A and B are shown apart, each in its own frame.
Chain A
């Protein structure tokens, strides 16, 4: 009898099945199944490849969509922002010349690249998926090995349909227990980053596991994986299961009919084997997690909404202490104060983290029949055109509009701030996005990351508020 095969992780299996060649120094030449492009650099990179006399190796495996620079004004056009006119034109022309599918504005394919990938069924279990955006880790929520790359790597993928990558170590984060009422996937992953740190996942492919993950919808899994890069890991993934397969069945670019059954057989073999070894393991007691909100300028600067802003003078590491002091000064917050009740100016609901239909529903549930506080501006920017249309079919646009929110068109908007959607200096936002970095939402803008429910609660209250007390 043959020796029992070594138990393998989800990551091990996908990596091994994509090795084209082993190069020296632990570097592998990896086949890439899906390459997604967005408007920020696509046109320039396509031009660079063409200028070099190269053609795309597999144009049918690359898909492009404008999201970063596009306006979100309800009456937008391709030329609505000074940047988008040129970026979209160059991207569309380059895509046409190369035979790359381009999802244009006002079609159901348009949206934030990490929202439309899963939504269209382009992202599937067992795939390698790359895009010139660090939140490409999102697609790992479907059981894919997906990661962000730089511009030179994009050119490499286009020209060869491969990438040279150093094999990362593996990490598993186990979410044990039952999630308390009013606590969301966003809260779980923010609490994880707060506990183990924004550099903890560096050099690792992270798998999220445990009962709480199994109980999650695909939207929630995508939110968890989305913040992997904020944990330092460029790869985050969740083993596919029946929830995944039901999500994919019938989607436009998912396998159809007999081919779906064939793919299903393959997908069922992907989850981590019993007894497989990870280089690092962490556990999170899910039942102890409360709604989270950030207080500083790194996603790890996060606390439960009912707790107090940390005091740098109690921090023993001098480097960390100075960073905390700088963060509090930038945020205009006092150590030791309650974070709940901090007055805010802006609420932003959207992004590849929390711009999907279930996020919009979660916020609408809190907003329904209420009004936002005076002096607060609040936006909902659906993650995709299809998400927007689906929400409108449910009447959710009217829920937000009658509460005083603006209901806008899909794009990265105020998460990336490329398209001019930014917050004035010194103003404070509660945002369902992924980065509270210095200047991320505009020069000297102050960002508090939180869930859609928490953002909705803040819009109604005019201050940082506990969604559990409102919902």
Chain B
């Protein structure tokens, strides 16, 4: 997983609620592409018109937001399908952080498995950052995960909350599987007890037909 400590970058406001993971990466892109190739298709239904040309009205296609590494968006971002490719597509596009009032539950787990920082802020605060981005000469902002602070485009300092375990994993770029493999004795102890308490769970060979 990629480490995340701090980031000073351009940010783009995409203030549409309930952006689902089918919109973040359409299903036809899930097969036949490597993770790093998915950036070309991130938010494809919005970024491109039916004929394949760029939609000039879409925020990410506007010159001032090109190269954005921070996405500021609306309620329930990443709802829907569990496809982790949604996270890979956003990261391959260049995003390292998404700020919204709320995120889909499965998307959230997937993001933190890959080093994509998700920051939840109250809606009024997210709307205000989006307004500041629209008005700033250069839509840039800064995020510091060590101190859990955001510097908004207007220079305001905001604090954000993040689960301690997730913060530490991001700061260290920690691999969960490697961490859990160290717990093998705990898992073995659980299973040996559980095989007595709930033996039917482990009996998975069906009777002969």
| A 409-456 contacts with B by CB, 8 A | 416-418, 425, 435, 437-440, 443-444
Instruction: Flag if B200 contacts A202 (CB, 8 Å).
Output: no
Neighbouring A residues of B199 by C-beta, 8 Å? 259, 262
Please report which residues of chain A, range 269-316, place their CB below 8 angstroms from some CB of chain B when the two chains form the complex.
298, 300
A162 proximity list for chain B (CB < 8 A): 180, 183, 187
What CA separation (Å) do A437 and B18 show in the bound complex? 10
Residues of A at the B interface (CB closer than 8 Å) are: 20-21, 23-27, 29, 31, 33, 40-41, 52, 54, 57-58, 60-61, 69, 83, 87, 101, 122, 124, 126-127, 132-134, 136, 147-153, 155-156, 159-162, 164-166, 168, 198-199, 202-203, 229, 232-234, 252-253, 255-256, 259-260, 262-263, 266, 298, 300, 319-320, 322-323, 326, 416-418, 425, 435, 437-440, 443-444
Name B164-209 residues within 8 Å CB distance of A.
164-166, 168, 176-177, 180-181, 183-184, 186-187, 190-191, 194, 198-207
> Which residues from chain B contact A40 at a C-beta distance below 8 Å?
30-31
Residue of A nearest to B200 (CB): A255
A150 CB contact (under 8 Å) in B28, B87, B204 = B87
Closest chain-A Cβ to B17's Cβ sits at a distance in Å of 6
> Considering only CB atoms, which chain B residue lies closest to A39 in the complex?
B31
The minimal Cβ–Cβ distance linking A149 to chain B, given in whole angstroms, is 6
- A320 surroundings in chain B (CB, below 8 A): 17
**Among candidates A33, A57, A155, A256, residue contacting B201 with C-beta atoms closer than 8 Å:** A33
Q: Cβ of B16 and Cβ of A323 under 8 Å apart?
A: yes
Contact with A along B138-181 (1 / 0, CB 8 A): 00000000000000000000000001111010000000110011
Whether A132 pairs with B177 at a CB distance below 8 angstroms is no
B20 touches A153 (CB 8 A): no
- Beyond A25-B164, A40-B31, whether A439 also contacts B105 by CB under 8 A is no
Q: CA separation between A323 and B27, bound complex, in Å?
A: 22
A319 touches B16 (CB 8 A): yes
For residue B82, CB closer than 8 A to chain A, the reply is yes
A252 to B205 CA separation, bound complex (whole angstroms): 9
State which of B2-10, B61-69, B90-98, B106-114 sits at the interface with chain A. Answer: B106-114
| A-side contacts of B85, CB under 8 Å | 151
Q: Is the CB of A199 within 8 A of B79?
A: yes
Interface centre among A29, A134, A162, A300 (most CB of B within 10 A): A134
- Whether the Cβ atoms of B180 and A156 lie closer than 8 Å is yes
Question: In the docked arrangement, what's the CA distance between A270 and B168, Å?
Answer: 36
Residues of B within 8 A of A233 (CB): 105
Cβ contact within 8 Å between A229 and B203: no
Nearest neighbor of A126 in chain B, beta-carbon distance: B198
B134 is an interface residue with CB less than 8 A from chain A? no
Task: Flag if B110 contacts A234 (CB, 8 Å).
Answer: no
Q: A21-B183, A437-B80 are in contact. List 7 more A-B contacts (CB 8 A).
A: A29-B187, A153-B109, A232-B79, A262-B199, A263-B198, A437-B20, A439-B26
User: Given A20-B186, A439-B23 in contact, is the A232-B16 Cβ separation under 8 Å?
Assistant: no
Interchain nearest-CB distance for B39 vs A (Å) = 17
Greatest chain B CB density within 10 A among A149, A153, A437, A440 is at: A437
Which residues of chain B are within 8 angstroms of A69 by Cβ–Cβ distance? Answer: 31
Q: B50–A31 contact, CB under 8 A?
A: no
Chain B residue nearest to A233 in the complex (CB): B105
Report B-chain residues with C-beta under 8 Å of the C-beta of A41: 30
Task: Closest B residue to A204 by CB, please name it.
Answer: B105
What does the 1/0 interface line of B51-71 toward A look like (CB < 8 Å)? 000000000000000000000
Bound complex: CA A133 to CA B180 (Å): 23
User: Nearest 7 pairs between A and B by C-beta?
Assistant: A25-B165, A150-B84, A150-B110, A199-B76, A255-B200, A25-B164, A148-B82
Q: Check B186 against A29 for contact (C-beta < 8 Å).
A: yes
Question: In the bound complex, do residue A156 and residue B177 qualify as a contact, i.e. CB atoms below 8 Å apart?
Answer: yes
Q: Which A residues are in CB contact (< 8 Å) with B45? A: 438-439, 443
Query: Min CB distance, B46 to chain A, in Å?
Result: 8
Verify B105–A232 contact, CB threshold 8 A: yes
Q: Which of B31, B80, B163, B205 contacts A83 (CB 8 A)?
A: B31
| Contact across chains for B202 and A440 when beta carbons are under 8 A apart | no
A439–B198 Cα distance when bound, in Å, is 44
Give B36-50 interface residues, CB cut-off 8 Å to A.
45, 50
A57 engages B187 (CB within 8 Å)? yes
> Is B80 touching A435 in the complex (CB atoms < 8 A)?
yes
List 14 A-B residue pairs with CB atoms under 8 Å apart, sorted by A's residue number. A24-B168, A124-B200, A134-B106, A149-B106, A152-B84, A159-B177, A164-B165, A202-B102, A203-B105, A253-B206, A319-B74, A435-B20, A437-B20, A439-B23
A101 neighbours in B (Cβ, 8 Å): 204
How many whole Å from B13's CB to the nearest CB in chain A? Answer: 11
Chain A positions within 8 Å of B164 at CB level = 24-25
> Would B106 and A152 count as touching, CB distance under 8 A?
no
Give the docked Cα–Cα distance between A416 and B80 (Å).
Answer: 12
- Check if B17 sits within 8 Å of A61, measured CB to CB: no
- Residues in B neighbouring A443, C-beta threshold 8 A: 26, 45, 50
Residues B79 and A198 in contact, CB atoms below 8 Å apart: yes
Compute how far the CA of A266 lies from the CA of B200 in the bound complex, rounded to whole angstroms: 11
